[in-house]
Amino acid sequence: MLFNNLRDRFFQLSLLTFVMGFGVSHPANALDFNLTWTGTDAFGAGTSSLTGTFSGVDLDSDGVLEGGNLSGGNEVTAFDITFSNTNEGTLATYNLSQLLSFNPSFNFNYDIASGNVLQSGNANSSTGFAIGDGDLGYLLDTTAGSGISFTDFNNFTANDQFGTLSATAVPFEFSPMLSLGILGAAFAIRKRYRQEQVKTKAMSQIE
């Protein structure tokens, strides 16, 4: 009897560990990120900022998620951003398709190991970035030795400088449907286990 109780308790704890561990330790997609930048109101025209998200796959396994075609192949699958200014509100919203069509050429490099957007080089280099419309819109880009610049090519009233472009992994969201599936499978196993217990007990009584 004591052995059976211990076995039941072990099964219950193992089941709970499985369900909780599945939901906590396995991110949905390690290459989905939030993206933020805030300027410094460098020109007294209000503080400009960027918020957005991006996703991608490191196709060449070099440890860098590369957006745009400057490196020979775009690894970003989604890139959605909004530029804003504290004086003017929302300035513009761009998606990946738009960014790839703008001038200068879209360039973005995210180092997976360090968790940093590369931003020490020029806008068209593998260590810098160029994000936005440099003709009639808004452009956030880098210059080696000078840092980040935000240029308002629309009416030149929201220019800003400096700050850091930061990326953070999107937290794992446990799907309700996935939860039901896991729990359903767990209880099916539990039911089967109970049936085997009853069967074993009945056989022992017959003997």
Interatomic CA distance for residues 36 and 110, integer angstroms:
13
Q: What is the mean pLDDT of residues 15-41?
A: 65
| Same domain (yes/no): 106, 159 | yes
| Same domain (yes/no): 69, 85 | yes
Give the position of tokens 């369900």. 19
Q: Of 93, 167, 183, whose CA–CA distance to 133 is shortest? A: 93
| Same domain (yes/no): 118, 188 | no
Give per-residue pLDDT as tens, 60-108.
999 999 999 887 789 999 999 999 999 999 999 999 999 999 999 999 9
- 116 φ, ψ to 5°? -120, 145
Q: Of 135, 137, 69, whose CA–CA distance to 103 is shortest? A: 135
| Same domain (yes/no): 57, 119 | yes
Q: Which two tokens stand for residue 103?
A: 């001038």
Average pLDDT over the chain, rounded to an integer: 82
Give the position of tokens 């290459």. 31
pTM of the predicted protein model: 0.72
Domain count, the chain: 2
User: Which residue range forms the structural domain that includes residue 14?
Assistant: 2-26+175-206
| Same domain (yes/no): 13, 75 | no
| Same domain (yes/no): 6, 81 | no
Q: Are 140 and 132 in contact (CB under 8 A)?
A: yes
| Same domain (yes/no): 39, 6 | no
